[in-house]
Amino acid sequence: MSQRLDDPALDRLFRIARTRNGWTAEEISDALIREIYDTAKWGPTAANSNPARFRFLKSLEARTRLGDLASATNREKILAAPVCVIVGYDLDFAEKIPELFPHNPGAKAWFANPEAARVTAVRNGTLQGAYLMIAARALGLDCGPMSGFDNAAVDAAFFAGTKIQSNFICNIGHGTDEGLFDRNPRLAFEDACQIL
């Protein structure tokens, strides 16, 4: 487990991976969608809380519903991609703690305070969204994460009757270079990090 990944793997996951705006028409199977999740779900979260909830929108009808709640630019991207996933977080995630953290089922009480639950859900749900993107890339797909949509409207359309709230959306498929921006710079280590 402590062996370093080779350079092509690191390139695929991080160094040359890009946010895709254009997509081929190649379909993504339900089996591959399940594999993406079944790979990503092993990423660690606080108290194994697993607060992320995902809605994988494959049908044109579902993607159109989402696209109508997004900016005009993002709408076109959503309609062009074979799959768009809504990455959300469940504010009631603690209900699953006894199942997911069986050595300490009383840990559910750690999240009785609504603000503590919200912060944990947002932080760890976002983390799980990143795991999902890394899993998709590791399985040979490209990603196009986005904001630029009406969160409240998306929650009403896709998470009605739950305490799940949308965080961000991400197109998944086989990307093209259409609309691909030049690689933008990143902060240098010295600008973003300290070793203490």
Domain 22-174, architecture per CATH: 3-Layer(aba) Sandwich (3.40)
Task: Supply φ then ψ for residue 166, to 5 degrees.
Answer: -75, 145
The C-alpha atoms of residue 174 and residue 18 are separated, in whole angstroms, by: 12
CB distance 144 to 175 below 8 Å: yes
Confidence of residue 72 (pLDDT cuts 50, 70, 90): very high
The pTM is what? 0.95
Task: Categorize the per-residue pLDDT at 2 as very low, low, confident or very high, splitting at 50, 70 and 90.
Answer: confident
What does the pLDDT look like over 138-196, one tens digit per residue?
Answer: 999 999 999 999 999 999 999 999 999 999 999 999 999 998 888 899 999 999 999 99
Work out the percent of the chain whose per-residue pLDDT is above 70. 99
What is the distance between the alpha carbons of residues 7 and 134, in angstroms, rounded to a whole number? 15
pLDDT tens for 48-61 read: 999 999 999 999 99
For residue 143, the Cα-to-chain-centroid distance in whole angstroms is 10
What residues form DSSP beta bridges with 164? 90
DSSP secondary structure string for all residues of 28-60: --HHHHHHHHHHHTTS--GGG---EEEEEE-SH
Mean pLDDT (whole number) for 68-86: 97
